[in-house]
Amino acid sequence: MKEQVFAAVLAISAVAAPARADEAFVANQTGDDLTIVELSTMTPLATIPIGGKPAGVAVSRDGSRVYVTSPEGHFLSVIDAAARRVAKKIETGGGPLGVAVSPDGSRVYVADMYGGGLIEVDPATEATRRVEIGAMPAGVAATPDGKTLVVAARDDNALVVLDAKSLVRLARIPVGRHPYGVTIDAEGGRVYSANVESDDVSVVDLAERRLVANVPVGSHPYSVALAKGRVFAANQYAESVSVFDARSLKPLATIKVGEYPESVAASRDGAVIYVVNWFSNELWSLDAATLKISAKAATGDGPRAFGAFIRAVN
């Protein structure tokens, strides 16, 4: 039933929201900068220097701010998306990697990979709170209502579920080996983790805090995107995107992409999937319905863009 509602919501939103000139904020880790790509034409618009080997990206829901983590520089960059400039840098210490923004934009959540914790940052005051997660926290995501956070404790092979307000741990759910990217669906019902070492995607029921299934994908999946009732996983070693049905969990396709794809994200209307290819320095778009590659854009060197890197422009 939940999945049917999910599919129906996607179908309605696909009709209601025509394609707009949205943008991708692609953090280039080797290049130490960030490429902004205009998505209707797949044209690079600007390059912003970041430093500290940027990796994680999270765009605020209103599209005004983009947060970028620099694990080697130990800071979080706050980017004014419209002005295309760094508004400020906030020291976090440790190894900031995965990042997510609360739906109201008031809090930013940063996974500290080296320190084993999650850091909550108030981007306005720069006040922080910290909670221990486990070994090598990687991806982080917030539910659409902002009440719950999910963090991948990579080397613990588990997802940690937190209450966003209190940062109290609600559950620890064992998944596949080395979960990296985590993605929560539009209704906050399910969370998906890409498990790098076990070559599968874990599907977890968030309300029941229960593993539903580990779905096999290609070699070394790093991240997951959701669109059209389908799950898309970027397989870094296989250099492909695996697609399976979100309801039946049955495989639908394997799409060959660029070299060492790491990050994948959906357009807000669910029509297009964007794939960041780390080795070949490209952003690819593919049609979420036909599963055909539609366009390619050049990025900087070593693009990671780990997280929700698509900015909705209204």
CB of 171 to other proteins, least distance (A): 26
Tokens for 122, please give them. Answer: 């108030």
Q: 139 to each of 129, 192, 199, 201, 253, how far by Cα in Å?
A: 18, 11, 16, 14, 25
Candidates 260, 274, 284, 309; binder of other proteins (CB under 8 A) is: 260
Tokens for 299, please give them. Answer: 């990025």
Candidates 36, 55, 66, 266; binder of other proteins (CB under 8 A) is: 55
155 in helix, strand or coil? helix
> Applying CB under 8 A, does 53 fall inside the site for other proteins?
yes
- Complex with other proteins: residue 28 or 183, whichever CB lies closer: 28
Any bridge partners for residue 293, and if so which?
286
> Applying CB under 8 A, does 30 fall inside the site for other proteins?
yes
> Applying CB under 8 A, does 302 fall inside the site for other proteins?
yes
Candidates 22, 24, 27, 29; binder of other proteins (CB under 8 A) is: 29
Please state, in angstroms and rounded to a whole number, the distance separating the CA atoms of residues 177 and 283.
Answer: 27
Site for other proteins, residues 178 to 207, rule: CB under 8 A = none
Instruction: Considering only the stretches 39-47, 90-98, 176-184, 187-195, report the one whose residues sit in contact with other proteins under the rule CB under 8 A.
Output: 90-98
Residue 156 DSSP class: G
- Complex with other proteins: residue 244 or 260, whichever CB lies closer: 260
Residues with Cβ < 8 Å from 83, sequence gap 6 or more?
none
Candidates 4, 219, 248, 294; binder of other proteins (CB under 8 A) is: 219
> Applying CB under 8 A, does 123 fall inside the site for other proteins?
no
Angle CA 203–207–209, to nearest 5: 55
Please state, in angstroms and rounded to a whole number, the distance separating the CA atoms of residues 175 and 205.
Answer: 12
Instruction: Considering only the stretches 69-77, 139-147, 165-173, 286-294, report the one whose residues sit in contact with other proteins under the rule CB under 8 A.
Output: 69-77
- Complex with other proteins: residue 71 or 123, whichever CB lies closer: 71
> Applying CB under 8 A, does 97 fall inside the site for other proteins?
yes
> Applying CB under 8 A, does 237 fall inside the site for other proteins?
yes
CB of 80 to other proteins, least distance (A): 26
Residue ranges of alpha helices (H) inside the chain are: 2-16
> Applying CB under 8 A, does 72 fall inside the site for other proteins?
yes
Candidates 17, 38, 114, 313; binder of other proteins (CB under 8 A) is: 114
Instruction: Considering only the stretches 68-76, 77-85, 201-209, 290-298, report the one whose residues sit in contact with other proteins under the rule CB under 8 A.
Output: 68-76
R_g of the chain, CA atoms, integer Å? 17
Contact assessment for residue 287 and residue 280, using Cβ atoms and an 8 Å cutoff: no
Residues with Cβ < 8 Å from 215, sequence gap 6 or more?
200, 201, 202, 203, 231, 244, 249, 251
